[in-house]
Amino acid sequence: MRRDVVARYALWSSAAAPVLLIGGWTLAAALQPGPSVQREGYDSLRDTISALAGYGAAHRWVMTLALLGVGACHLATARGLRPLATPARVMLGVGGAATVLAAAFPLPAAGTSGAHQTAATVAFVCLALWPALWRHAGGEPARPPVSVMVPATLVMVALVLGFTAALGAGVLAGLAERLAAGAQAVWPFVTVLLLRRSPRATLIRV
């Protein structure tokens, strides 16, 4: 198996991840009931993505399947990004597996879930940091250079920290989470596209 080629399925899996995530939270939010005397309606600016897959949500299967799909896509992309060094691929894969676990351990109807919070935290951290480990599988820096990958990592880390702060303050936590999760879902696709332009890494049908 050649290490200087990107598997074709990585292009499709990386492209599917943001579609599943953004499409999932959009559809799931639209299916939530509006505000009533007994309860507030779901607010995408205020409420988290996890709440859409929690036991208190209507049609929770929509967001649950979306999260499972996103996690599976990250796992497939990590496997297909052969030109990258093993640490980067492993961290992306762990982020995908943690996303699957976050869906498998949904939030309760009231309160929090330690298992869900742990899985979500691992997913956010891994999916923010894996670009910093991007090197060619042979030990040389993969293209594009560090000048692209380091800023990408810093931006995603900043977005995750912003979400953490918003969650603690209870202000626009839903918006902050969507910005962080959306950026993390898109970056593997950007990675595949950038690697396709590298003279050392080509896309093959596998």
Cα 94 to its chain centre, rounded Å, is 11
pLDDT of residue 194: 86
d(CA 182, CA 180): 5
Cα 73 to its chain centre, rounded Å, is 9
Q: Which of 79-83, 132-136, 144-148 has the lowest mean pLDDT?
A: 144-148
Quick check: 205 pLDDT over 50? no
Taking residues 107-124, report their average pLDDT: 93
Question: Which residue stretches of 3-80 are H helix?
Answer: 8-30, 49-53, 60-80
pLDDT of residue 49: 96
Taking residues 81-95, report their average pLDDT: 93
pLDDT of residue 66: 98
DSSP, collapsed to helix, strand or coil, labels residue 190 as helix
- List all residues 6 or more positions away from 93 whose beta carbon is below 8 Å from its beta carbon: 74, 75, 78, 79
Give residue 24's pLDDT band: very low, low, confident or very high (50, 70, 90): very high
Taking residues 175-193, report their average pLDDT: 96
The whole-chain average pLDDT of the chain stands at: 88
Percentage of the chain modeled with pLDDT above 90: 69
pLDDT of residue 36: 45
Quick check: 99 pLDDT over 80? yes
Residues pairing with 87 in the sheet: none
Q: Which two tokens stand for residue 70?
A: 């996103």
Q: Which of 9-18, 117-126, 130-139 has the lowest mean pLDDT?
A: 130-139
